[in-house]
Amino acid sequence: MNKYRCIFQMGLEYALEYRFDFLFSMISCIFPIIIQFFLWSAIYLQPGASIDNGYTYEQMILYTLTAGFVSKLVIGGFEYEINEDIKNGGLNKYLIRPVHYMRYYFFSFLGKKVPSAVILLSAVAITTGVAGIALKTAISPVHILFFLVSLVLALILNFCLMFCIAMYSFWVTDVSKLFGTISIVLVVLSGGVFPMDLFGNVVRTVSHILPFCYTTQFPTDILTGRLSQNAIVSGIAIQLLWIVLLVFIGSLLWKKGLKRFISAGG
Amino acid sequence: MNVKTYFSKLLHRFTRYFRLLFLFAKFSLMAQAEYRLNFFSGVTVECGYLLVKLSYVAVVTMAGVNIGGLSPDEIVIFIGTYILMTGIYMVVYPSFSSLSQKVREGSLDMLIVKPVSLQFMLSFQNIDFSMLIPNAAAGIILIVTGWYQAGLPVTLVSVSGFILFLLSGVFLTYSLFLLPHLLCFWLVSNRGIAEITAAVWDFNNMPQLIYGKWMQRLGTFILPVFIITNFPGLFLLDRLTPFLLFWGLAAPVLFFILCRLVFSRAVKHYTSAGG
């Protein structure tokens, strides 16, 4: 376990290497939140407007303020490194080391997320706190606790999801551009831009079955106070179920993919 | 030198650079045709971003209410303009974003010695058409649909005014969005700045009229990103005052001069490290 602690620390140090980049990247996630804040305010506060989309104005503002940060926190990024490892033969060094490849990236991923988590969770606490006072809506401590639990699970779930997608590199040599497309589509499907529940019953039903919305929309919905305790517990159970399933699929793809690995360039 | 000779030289220079631009575009297209999978990957990446932009269209049309005094159909024109301009911006974006690498690795040396404007070479050497295609297609479809649905007149003045402000937006995009990339002459890595720049660009995802008064002033006069995609639509809706009409055409010129000045200063910081 000691080696994985070192990998975790390495990830943490790596994330802090380019501090300006890190700071600017954190600031950049505020801009879409501002756009959506104005958009929803303009829609809901229109005189005579009666918006029936399952969200009250207060819930939508809380969702907007939180989803952008949550989406930024859970997002992957390591898939490009895996693609490079497989494409250029850098995977060799991991194969001869006494580390498990998936666990190596998992702990490195967690380490890289620590600085983002501290800043983004502080931002969530400040913005939702201020919004709560301004909109006169209180977030209960139970919901905050459930939010934190579901957020940790969302982080793990997104890692598993991206690891499975990264395994595609064994079959296609260079998929780096494809990862870009997949990441953006996943942000949309996870509710990182708008809640998927807005887009009709069919989209809502499908999105609640698939794992994507459990990475962003579900934790965010908990904080907005939109979900009942039963819905929260069943949502957390679904998160756990998807994690187990994706770990299994990821391991299977790793074993199958490794047989195709030709160590080109290594 | 008399005026006639001056203009003749200017015209000759302009023609030369125009031919160079055509050659750069041709070579870029040939290079992209060689790696077709990369080209189509670029198209799919942009389709992903397009999905995000279209989700705003879906939200606005599903809400079905006037936002910032604009009907959903009118908003579609603004979002369409934003998508079209994004496609045009993306044509030169690879050149802008590769600037940092060239400075860091010292590969600017070879370009500095060429008898062509360095800024021109850096701006148009890597032109990418893959991201233009989906954006231009979706943008034009949205503009035409919104224009038709909103019942706006199709006259010579409205169409030519709309195109004039589109062109003004293209020039402003070049100057305004090259500026942050020039910071790479002072900073080692500008990935974070690139992210912020992209986020500022995305403010145009919605018409400026939804934002507060101070934000509108800031985005029109100080950091005039709103001019790029809002002024064509505002002209169409007859919402531009004579002063804004003037500012919409003057801002690209002013920011181009600023961009030239900053570029000249930035190049002096180039150390050819690693070259």
Cα angle vertex A214, ends A210, A220, to 5°? 145
What's the pLDDT score for residue A119?
Answer: 86
Candidates A18, A38, A186, partner chain B, best to mutate (most B CBs within 10 A): A38
Do the Cβ atoms of A88 and A173 come closer than 8 Å?
A: no
What's the pLDDT score for residue B188?
Answer: 66
**Within a domain: A68:** yes
- Nearest neighbour of A23 by CB, restricted to B47, B190, B192: B192
Q: Is A199 on the interface with B (CB under 8 A)?
A: yes
What's the pLDDT score for residue B3?
Answer: 81
**Within a domain: A264:** no
Q: Please answer yes or no on whether A193 and B199 come within 8 Å at the CB atom.
A: no
Q: Please answer yes or no on whether A177 and B58 come within 8 Å at the CB atom.
A: no
Q: Please answer yes or no on whether A31 and B203 come within 8 Å at the CB atom.
A: yes
Cα angle vertex A113, ends A123, A68, to 5°? 40
**Within a domain: A159:** yes
Number of domains in chain A: 1
What's the pLDDT score for residue B63?
Answer: 84
- Nearest neighbour of B206 by CB, restricted to A24, A35, A184: A35
What's the pLDDT score for residue B50?
Answer: 92
- The two three-digit tokens of residue A155, written as one number: 């982080």
- Written as one letter, the residue type at A201 is N
The domain in which residue B39 lies consists of 35-267
Q: Please answer yes or no on whether A39 and B210 come within 8 Å at the CB atom.
A: yes
Contacts of A30 in chain B (CB under 8 A): 199
A131 vs A129: CA distance, rounded Å? 5
Residues of chain A with pLDDT under 50: none
Do the Cβ atoms of B79 and B205 come closer than 8 Å?
A: yes
**Within a domain: A194:** yes
Those residues whose C-beta lies under 8 Å from the C-beta of residue A12, and which sit 6 or more positions away, are A111, A112, A114, A115
**Within a domain: A114:** yes
Residues of chain B with pLDDT under 50: none
Contacts of A31 in chain B (CB under 8 A): 196, 199-200, 202-203
- The two three-digit tokens of residue B211, written as one number: 């934002």
ipTM of the complex: 0.83
Do the Cβ atoms of A35 and B206 come closer than 8 Å?
A: yes
Those residues whose C-beta lies under 8 Å from the C-beta of residue B181, and which sit 6 or more positions away, are B96, B97, B99, B100, B190, B193, B194, B197
The domain in which residue A254 lies consists of 2-258
Do the Cβ atoms of A165 and A179 come closer than 8 Å?
A: yes
A194 vs B26: CA distance, rounded Å? 40
The pTM score is: 0.85
CA distance A17 to chain B (A): 11
**Within a domain: B42:** yes
**Within a domain: B3:** no
CA distance A5 to chain B (A): 28
Q: Is the four-CA dihedral B173, A193, B212, B196 of positive or negative sign?
A: negative
- Written as one letter, the residue type at A6 is C
Q: Please classify residue A173 by burial: count the beta carbons closer than 10 Å to its beta carbon, then call 0-12 exposed, 13-18 middle and 19+ buried.
A: exposed
Do the Cβ atoms of A11 and A107 come closer than 8 Å?
A: yes
Contacts of B42 in chain A (CB under 8 A): 177
**Within a domain: A263:** no
The alpha helices in chain A, defined as continuous H runs, are 2-15, 19-28, 30-44, 57-74, 79-88, 92-96, 101-135, 141-166, 176-189, 201-209, 217-224, 229-258
The angle that helices B191-201 and A19-28 make with each other, rounded to 10 degrees, is 10
pLDDT digits 0-9 by tens, A26-68: 777 888 889 999 999 988 888 776 777 788 888 899 999 899 8
Number of domains in chain B: 1
Q: Which residue of A has its CA nearest to B204?
A: A35
Q: Please answer yes or no on whether A42 and B67 come within 8 Å at the CB atom.
A: yes
CA distances from A154 to A63, A163, A190, B50 (A): 16, 14, 10, 25
**Within a domain: A72:** yes
**Which residues 87-146 in chain A show a CB within 8 A of chain B?**
none
Q: Which residue of B has its CA nearest to A188?
A: B52
**Within a domain: B22:** no
Q: Is A243 on the interface with B (CB under 8 A)?
A: no
Question: Which one, of B194, B193, B243, lies nearest residue B220 by Cα?
Answer: B243
Q: Please answer yes or no on whether A184 and B45 come within 8 Å at the CB atom.
A: yes
Q: Is A173 on the interface with B (CB under 8 A)?
A: no
**Within a domain: A26:** yes
Those residues whose C-beta lies under 8 Å from the C-beta of residue A213, and which sit 6 or more positions away, are A189, A190, A191, A196, A207
**Within a domain: B6:** no
A121 vs A131: CA distance, rounded Å? 15
How far separated are the first and last CA of chain B, in Å rounded? 41
- Nearest neighbour of B192 by CB, restricted to A25, A182, A184: A25
**Within a domain: B102:** yes
Q: Please answer yes or no on whether B48 and A51 come within 8 Å at the CB atom.
A: no
Do the Cβ atoms of B220 and B208 come closer than 8 Å?
A: yes
Name the residue with tokens 């517990």: A233
Per DSSP, the residues of A70-97 read HHHHH---THHHHHHHHHHTTTHHHHHT
